[in-house]
Structure 1
Amino acid sequence: MINIIGALIALGVLVTVHEAGHFIAARIFGVEIEKFSLGFGPKLLAFVRGKTEYRISLIPLGGYLKMKGENPDEEIDDPETSFRAKNWWQRAIIAFAGPFMNFILALLLFMVSFGIGRNFEDLEPIVGNVQGQFEEIFIPGDKILEVNENEIIGWNQIMQFASTESENTFKVLRDNDKIEITSSSLDINEWYSLVKPHVNAIVGEVSPGMPAYKAGLMPDDVILEVDGEPIDDWYEMRDLITQNPAEIVSLLIERDGKTFEKSLQLETNIYDDNKIIGITQKLPVTIHEKFTFFESIEYGSITTVNFIYLNYAMLIKLIANPGALKSNIGGPVMMYTMSQQTAGKGLDVILNFIGMISLILMIMNLLPIPILDGGHIFFCFVEGIFKKPLPLRIQIALQNVGLFLLMFLMVFAFWNDISRIFSRNASINQQKIEMEN
C-alpha cells in the first residue's frame, strides 16, 4: 500500500511540474489561466487569485491547466488574453514549456542522485576466462585483492586503479595463497576483451513484461541448462540464448534446491536483433561511490542525454517495426512493478527512477500527435510556415483522431500489463506444482 501511495505521489509531482511549465510560460506571454489544479476530479479545496482558480482535486494523479482560448472551438470574451490570440511561436513555447520542465526536473534529479553518492552493483573480482597475453599473468579462479596497493571490492574497480602507462602490481588470492603479480601497463580494450570475470548464471532482476517475467522466473533462480546443454557461467548461457535460431528456448532452473524446466518464447532485441528473455545477472557486490559537485553535473547531464537518445532510437525502431510494440509498451501496472523493484535500493536509485519517468513523460508529450504538446507545436509550426492556421474543422478533426489514438494506446498498454501478470501468475503456479511433485 505504501508503494502504491509513493508511486501516485511521484506521478503527481511529475505531472504537476509539467503543468507548472505551461503555467509559467503562459503567464509570461500574458495568457489568462482559468484553472490550475493539483489532481483530477471533484475539487476538495479551492481559492481564486486574480482571474485564476487554484484547486486541489480528489484524484492525486497529477494535475491540469486550463488556459483561456486553448480549445479551437471555444468562444472567448477577451481575445487579447487568450491562448489563440498569441503569435504562433509564443504558443509553441507555451506548449513546449511543459515537457521542458520535465527535462529540467530529470536533469536535477540525476545530478542530485550522483551528488549524494551512488550505489553501484558489481561482480566479485574473480577471474573467469583468460585469453592472449593475460594467460601468463592470471588463471581462472584468481581473486584480485589489490591493484597498486588499492583494495579491490568489485570487478570494475580493477581498471579504475590499474595504470595504462606504467607497471602494475596485483595482489591475488590463488588456491588459498596470497601472491603478488607484476605486469606491464594495461590496455583497457585488451583487458575487457581478453579477461572475463567469473559470473554464475544466477538471475539478478527480471524485466517486467519480458519473456522471463511472463514465464515466472524470479531473482536468485539458477539456470543450469539451455536446451538440454549444461552451462558453466553466465556468458555461456547468454550466448546460447542470444544466438538461438529457434523461437522457443528451454531452461532447466534451480530454485530453493529444486529443479524444473521452463520453455520461454524468445523475443528479438529491438536495438541489435539478438534474442533476449529479459533478465540481468546477479551482482553480489555493492560499491558506494561519491562524486564532486562538478562530476555530479557532468554525469547527470550524460545520463539525461543518453536516456533521451536511447528512447528516441527505440521509438524510431518501433515505427519501423510495429510488431515489436506489444513487447515494448507498458502501462501503469508495469510502471508500478518497476517502482517496486527500485523501492528498497536507496535514495539514489529512487531519484534515478523518477528522473527516467520524467523524461518518458517529456518524450511522449513531444510526439507530434494532436491533443499532445507535440501536436500543438506541430500546428504552430504549420501556421508559422504557411502564415495562417489550419482550418478550425481540420484542427478539431485531427484532435479527435489524436484523442482516439491516445485512448487506444492507453487501453493497449493496460491490456498488455494485465495479460503479462496473468501469464506470470499462471507460470508461477505451474512451477509450484512441478516443484512439489
Structure 2
Amino acid sequence: MSVLAAIAVLAVLILVHELGHFVAARSQGIHVNRFSLGFGPILWKYQGSETEYAIRAFPLGGFVGFPDDDPDSDIPPNDPNLLRNRPILDRAIVISAGVIANLIFAYLVLVLQLGIVGIPENNYLPGAIVRPVNEQSVAYQAGIREGDIILAVNGQQLAASEKSIALLTKEIQTHPSQQIELKIQRNNEQLSLPITPKTGTDNKGVIGVELGPNGTAFYRRPHNPLEIFSIAANRFQQLFVGTVKGFGLLITNFQQTVGQVSGPVNIVKIGAQLAANNSANLLSFAAVISINLAIINILPIPALDGGQLAFLLIEALRGKPLPTRIQEGVMQTGLMLLLGLGIFLIVKETTQLTSQLEWVQKLFQ
C-alpha cells in the first residue's frame, strides 16, 4: 500500500504540473486538443467539446497537446488562438505555468501538513547527539560512536538550545588541523576525547559526523492561521534554496554528487519507506518532489519547459523564431537523451536499490 501511495503522490504532482499548462492556455483562449495523465496505452478517455482527456497506463508522466502541428486538426493555420500564433509573453506564461503550479502546490502541501499534524518543536536537552558516523572518518578514529552526546567543546558547554549544533559546528570548522577537546556522554559515562579536524576542500575543519539536536520532538497546535502560513513560507524557502544548491553542486562537482541522482524507482522506494514509517511524511515527500520537479523542468534542457523558454528567448532576441527543423532536431535529441537517462536510472536502481531514506529524512527535520 505504501508503494501505491508513493506512486499516487507522483501522479498527483504530474497532474498538477500539466494542469498548470492547461489552465494557463485555456484561460487565455488558446486551443488545447489533448490532456493526458500518464503515457503508453490509453485506459480511459473522454472527448470534450474541444479537448480529449485521457488516463494512460503508466502514471509517471503526462502531457498537454496543442493542435498547432496536428495534421488532423480542422483549425486554420492562421487562427490567432493557436499557441504558435500568440505573442511571446502568452506562450511563456503557458510554458512556465507547470513549474509555477508545482511550486504553489508544494507551499500549499506544507500549509496542509502544518495545519493537520501541527507545528514541530523540540524539548531540548544539553548537548548535540551524534548520528551515523563513517568508520573511516576522523570522528570514528578518535573514538566517537553513533548515539554519543557531545556536551562541550573546548570547555564551552552546549546548552539545551537549538544553537548548540551551530556552536559545535563553528568550533570544528574554525579549527582545521588543530586539536579540540570534546566532552562526550555515552550511556551513563562521560568521556573527554581530543580530536583534530582535518582540512576540508573549503579550508574548514571537518570530522565526518552528522549532528542532531539532543531532545524529543513534538507537535503543537498552531496559535493562529497566520502562524501556519508564515512557518510554511520559511520551510518552503529552506527546501527551495536547498534544492537549488543541490543542483548547483551537481553541476559544479559532478563526480562527487552524481551518485545521489535518483530515478523513478528510487523515488518511489523512498516515498514508500516514508509512508510506512508515518503516513504524514507523504506530505513532506510531496512538497520536496514537487519543488524538485519544478526546478528540473525550468532547466534550459531540450524537451523540458526550460528548453522551450530558451527558444522563446532566442526568438525575442532575433525578432523571429529559429527554423522549425533546428528546433525539432534539438528537441528530439534532448528527448532521446532524457529517455536514455531515465532507462539507465531505472535499470541501475532496479538491480542495485541502495537506501536514500536518511538523506530524505534530513529534509523533513
State whether TM-score is above 0.5: yes
- Verify: 1:233 aligned to 2:178, yes or no: no
The verdict on how the C-alpha distance between 1:283 and 1:67 changes in structure 2, with shifts beyond 3 A counting, is farther
- Structure 1: which amino acid aligns with 2:148? D
SS of residue paired to 1:41: strand
SS of residue paired to 1:227: helix
SS of residue paired to 1:84: helix
- Once the two structures are TM-superposed, the CA of residue 102 in structure 1 deviates from its matched residue by 0.6
Count of residue pairs the alignment pairs up? 311
| Structure (1 or 2) with the greater helix fraction | 2
- CA deviations over 1:55-108 (Å, ceiling 9, x no partner): 22222334322111268x999852214221211211111000111111111111
User: Contact between 1:382 and 1:390, CA under 8 Å: does it hold in 2?
Assistant: yes
The verdict on how the C-alpha distance between 1:49 and 1:421 changes in structure 2, with shifts beyond 3 A counting, is closer
- Counterpart in 1 of 2:321? 389
- Counterpart in 1 of 2:20? 21
- Counterpart in 2 of 1:358? 290
- Counterpart in 2 of 1:433? none
- CA deviations over 1:227-260 (Å, ceiling 9, x no partner): 3735582559x98x99999xxxxxxxxxxxxxxx
- Structure 2: which amino acid aligns with 1:86? R
SS of residue paired to 1:50: coil
- Counterpart in 1 of 2:8? 9
- Counterpart in 2 of 1:125? none
- Verify: 1:66 aligned to 2:65, yes or no: yes
- Counterpart in 1 of 2:43? 44
- Once the two structures are TM-superposed, the CA of residue 306 in structure 1 deviates from its matched residue by 2.2
Distance 1:410 1:244 in 2: 41
User: Contact between 1:89 and 1:384, CA under 8 Å: does it hold in 2?
Assistant: no
- Verify: 1:155 aligned to 2:124, yes or no: yes
Distance 2:220 2:262 in 1: 32
User: Contact between 2:107 and 2:287, CA under 8 Å: does it hold in 1?
Assistant: yes
SS of residue paired to 2:84: coil
Distance 2:211 2:55 in 1: 42
- Counterpart in 1 of 2:190? none
- Counterpart in 2 of 1:182? none
- Counterpart in 1 of 2:331? 399
SS of residue paired to 2:301: coil
The verdict on how the C-alpha distance between 1:423 and 1:7 changes in structure 2, with shifts beyond 3 A counting, is closer
The verdict on how the C-alpha distance between 1:19 and 1:269 changes in structure 2, with shifts beyond 3 A counting, is farther
- Counterpart in 1 of 2:353? 421
| Identity, % of aligned positions | 28
Distance 2:85 2:9 in 1: 35
SS of residue paired to 2:232: helix
- Once the two structures are TM-superposed, the CA of residue 293 in structure 1 deviates from its matched residue by 0.5
Q: Of the two, which has the highest radius of gyration?
A: 1
Q: What CA RMSD, in Å, does the superposition of the two structures yield over aligned residues? A: 3.8
- Counterpart in 2 of 1:287? 218
TM normalised by structure 2 equals 0.72
- Counterpart in 2 of 1:95? 95
- Counterpart in 1 of 2:115? 115
- Counterpart in 1 of 2:83? 83
User: Contact between 1:39 and 1:58, CA under 8 Å: does it hold in 2?
Assistant: yes
Name structure 1 gaps, 5 residues minimum.
123-153, 157-196, 204-210, 216-222, 246-267, 425-437
SS of residue paired to 1:38: strand
Structure 1 window deviating more from structure 2 (390-399 vs 335-344): it is: 335-344
- Counterpart in 1 of 2:165? none
- Structure 2: which amino acid aligns with 1:299? I
Structure 1 window deviating more from structure 2 (2-11 vs 32-41): it is: 32-41
SS of residue paired to 1:330: coil
Distance 2:72 2:329 in 1: 15
SS of residue paired to 1:395: helix
TM normalised by structure 1 equals 0.61
- Once the two structures are TM-superposed, the CA of residue 45 in structure 1 deviates from its matched residue by 2.2
User: Contact between 1:47 and 1:55, CA under 8 Å: does it hold in 2?
Assistant: yes
User: Contact between 2:121 and 2:220, CA under 8 Å: does it hold in 1?
Assistant: no
SS of residue paired to 2:217: strand
The verdict on how the C-alpha distance between 1:97 and 1:70 changes in structure 2, with shifts beyond 3 A counting, is farther
- CA deviations over 1:152-184 (Å, ceiling 9, x no partner): xx107xxxxxxxxxxxxxxxxxxxxxxxxxxxx
- CA deviations over 1:9-28 (Å, ceiling 9, x no partner): 11111101110111111112
- CA deviations over 1:173-215 (Å, ceiling 9, x no partner): xxxxxxxxxxxxxxxxxxxxxxxx3455454xxxxxxx97xx9
User: Contact between 1:107 and 1:304, CA under 8 Å: does it hold in 2?
Assistant: yes
User: Contact between 2:11 and 2:59, CA under 8 Å: does it hold in 1?
Assistant: yes
- Counterpart in 2 of 1:336? 268
**Stretches of 4+ aligned residues off by more than 6 angstroms:** 73-76, 241-245
- Counterpart in 2 of 1:304? 236
Distance 2:87 2:340 in 1: 33
